Structure 1
Amino acid sequence: MSEGFDTKSAETKTSFLPQRKPTEVASIGATQQSLVDDFGDIKDPRVERTKKHQLPDIVIIAILAAIAGAQGWEDIENYRFSKQQWLQKCLALPNGIPLDDTFRRVFEFINPEELNRCFLQWVKTLVTKMKGEIIPIDGKAIRGSYDCNRSSSALHVISALASQQNLAVAQRKVEDKSNEITALPTLLELLDTTGSIITIDVMGTQTEMAKKIIDKKADYVLALKENHRTLYHQVEQGFKQASAQNFHSVDVS
């Protein structure tokens, strides 16, 4: 009797809790190789006589250090000391590992759009398929990015996060005198969202945004508040009617 009950209970749990397949991720070897390849075509802003270190080496070390928690040029230099033997196996480093001043000077002149393009290309190789992945999209102001000398406002960006991997797979700056709604469509264009679920807070509850997500072959979950009076009332009434009928005529899980 107890065995039959336990078996039935297990079957019930399985039928009502479908298991999602884990997101496919690239191998360590492929990740290392793509890191070298994807940052190899950034235009070098330096004059020839100052090229003591190869640009891809400088960029890759800085990115790895940032992933490891570096928050400044000295942190990057400390990272390269602690990982020197490993870095020498992965990178060319014809003149050893750069100093912190070298990292600072190079990044002052690198084209940020080129760097962003290469970084996003590399991120795409980390997660090879996102089918079934939940991708929250959210906007944040970057602390400390306000420039007092130029009277420029803080940098505001919107990011898409692969939730299972805890990895930002795309990011877009919100232009001055604009808002997140105008930046959202361009962010979605950066992603292959086929079969994934896009979640956006109330800023993205727009007809055109829902259509854009459907066009990208994804599903969506959008926040709805009472400031969308007509739609809010329709949804509220729809749930009341469905609940009164015990959701008999509604396809739900």
Structure 2
Amino acid sequence: MGSNLIQSLQNIRDFRAVHGRRYPLWLIMLLVIMGIMSGCSSYHALEDFGVRHYEALCEKLGLTLNRLPSDTTFRRVLQKLDFALLAQQFEQWAKDNMNMEPGEGIAIDGKSIKSTVGQSDTGYHSFVNMVSVYSQRQGVVLALQAFESKSTSELKVVQKLLEALALQDVVVTLDALHCQKKLHS
């Protein structure tokens, strides 16, 4: 077995200035992951998650904080966070800690992220997409990859994710986009 998720998140270098830091970066990222897994979809919802679970989180994590991060703290950190580093660390942790069983179902799908359309004044819109690799048995995302539609395609991103994960003896489900005669690397 690999490290726990907190240890993995602690490997990400804190990009913030030392002066004024109230919360360690690993804690903010852990709350984001836990909040999103609990259905939070806004900065306010993440703050509310922290308020609701303050006592349990402080007890389990050994924290001595007066409060957990506010919505503005989540916003400031997430706007500057290198998502690729977070995704890479999370994927490595998931890969090290998830045991795949033969025949396990893995669902892969890409979604466009709302409000990311760029170049709306041209005929070719550029927007951000997210491809996720999901273990149906374990109920957990094994890998994520964001990409801009103008720079690459979902087909290529999925191929790279599958190569990186090196899954064996699993059943992979994909949507109709991936039912093409020729898939190029």
TM-score (norm: length of structure 2):
0.80
- The C-alpha deviation readout for 1:116-159, integer Å capped at 9, x for no partner, is 11222233355322432122323222233335899973322322
The structure with higher relative contact order (CA 8 Å, sep 6+) is 2
| CA 1:130–1:170: 2 relative to 1, 3 Å | farther
Deviation (angstroms), 1:114: 0.6
Give yes or no for the alignment of 1:49 onto 2:13.
Answer: no
Q: Which runs of 5+ in 2 are unaligned?
A: none
TM-score (norm: length of structure 1):
0.61
2:154 to 163, 180, 185: 180
How many aligned residue pairs are there?
181
Deviation (angstroms), 1:207: 7.0
CA distance in 2 between counterparts of 1:146 and 1:94 reads 42
2:128 to 155, 172, 195: 155
Q: Which amino acid aligns with 1:119?
A: F
Deviation (angstroms), 1:189: 2.4
Q: Which amino acid aligns with 1:181?
A: L
1:122 to 68, 93, 100: 93
Moved over 6 A (4+): 148-152
Give yes or no for the alignment of 1:39 onto 2:9.
Answer: yes
Q: Following superposition of structure 1 onto structure 2, how do residues 1-253 of structure 1 map, counting pairs within 5 Å? A: 34-96=4-66, 97-125=68-96, 127-146=98-117, 153-177=126-150, 178-205=152-179
Q: Conserved in 1, the CA contact under 8 Å of 2:127 and 2:148? A: no
Secondary structure at 1:49 match in 2:
coil
More helix by share: 1
- The C-alpha deviation readout for 1:87-139, integer Å capped at 9, x for no partner, is 11233545432222112111222111111112222333553224321223232
Deviates more, 1:74-83 or 1:178-187: 178-187
CA distance in 2 between counterparts of 1:201 and 1:66 reads 24
Secondary structure at 2:19 match in 1:
helix
CA distance in 1 between counterparts of 2:116 and 2:62 reads 34
Q: Which has the larger radius of gyration?
A: 1
